[in-house]
Amino acid sequence: MTMRASVTTTGRSIIMLEYDFMRHAFAAAAIVAVVAGLVGYFLVLRGQTFAGHALAHVGFTGATGAVLVGASPLAGLVAATVVAGVGMGFAGERLAQRDVAIGMVLALALGFGLLFLHFFTTYATQVTALLFGNVLAVETTTVWTLAWLGLLSVGALGVIARPLLFASLQPELAEAKGVSLRLYAVLFLAIVALATAECAQIVGVLLVFTLMVGPAAAAQRLTSRVMPGVALSAGLALLEAWLGIALAYWTDWPTSFWITALSAAVYLAAMLRSDTRGFAT
């Protein structure tokens, strides 16, 4: 019976990959998950997760505004998040530490998004996909767009990774050594904005924490070493995204739910493991 069940599951997995929309979903999820895992590690390390959440809501406003004027929602999403990310970076650490200010930006952005939606209620389904994601509706052109955005994000992160890490771990010493904290804050939040725009295509703007924060936070619970932590963060994000799509196919439940549930489960397991290890020592 076990062997028969295994064969059945394998057969369904093979059939799943025969559909174009499933192959597109796995490809898009792979791109987004790896980018989110890499960028999210530094986001959690720098304690800027709330700023990342605010960028997602700003992106919703940009996407709905773009629909209002007849432009691509993805283009509006990217443009709005990048502008907001750069603005937050120029504001410096003062804004990063003022959750009230970021919260007001978040609420205002969401309010404008709802206002834009009010004028074009015929796009309600499209906006729902922006809020909660719909990876199964990703088209070939979107996959290529995500690939180019992913290459841009990872390439830019690779260029600034060393000074960014220095500025994140020892900001006073980095500044004394001539590292511009504001410059790297601006550059990093611009990269976060791109990653956030990509994540919204998979899990939606309301669930960006799922791929941007969950895997990174779990990785930092499991290892204190930077390079293994970065790799683990990307690996966990990829595993959660792919397994979430597969579970959605097998159960007919929403993909975003499964990815979110897996992310929460992995983080909880990592937290329990690190707490148990700390208690044992």
Highest mean pLDDT among 82-86, 122-126, 208-212, 255-259: 255-259
pLDDT digits (tens, 9 = 90+) for 151-186: 999 999 999 999 999 999 998 899 898 988 888 988
Question: What is the arithmetic mean of pLDDT over 122-127?
Answer: 60
| Rounded CA separation 88/61 (Å) | 16
pLDDT at 96: 47
Contacts of 142 (CB under 8 A, 6+ apart): 24, 28, 74, 201
Q: Please give the model's pTM, rounded to 2 decimal places.
A: 0.84
pLDDT band at 281 (very low <50, low <70, confident <90, very high): very low
pLDDT digits (tens, 9 = 90+) for 2-12: 334 443 455 55
Task: Kindly give the residue spans of alpha helices, DSSP state H, lying in the chain.
Answer: 2-16, 20-45, 49-68, 73-91, 93-96, 99-119, 124-132, 140-169, 171-176, 181-203, 209-212, 214-222, 226-251, 255-280
pLDDT at 231: 96
pLDDT at 7: 39
Q: Domain limits of the chain?
A: 20-204
pLDDT at 158: 95
pLDDT at 93: 56
| Rounded CA separation 221/228 (Å) | 12
Instruction: Tell me which of 57-66, 97-106, 132-141, 248-257 is least confident.
Output: 97-106
| Rounded CA separation 145/154 (Å) | 14
- Whether 94 has a pLDDT exceeding 60, the answer reads no
pLDDT at 13: 59
pLDDT band at 39 (very low <50, low <70, confident <90, very high): very high
Quick check: helix, strand or coil at residue 102?
A: helix
pLDDT band at 265 (very low <50, low <70, confident <90, very high): very high
pLDDT at 4: 41
CATH number of 20-204: 1.10.3470.10
pLDDT band at 103 (very low <50, low <70, confident <90, very high): low
Instruction: Tell me which of 174-188, 195-209, 229-243 is least confident.
Output: 195-209
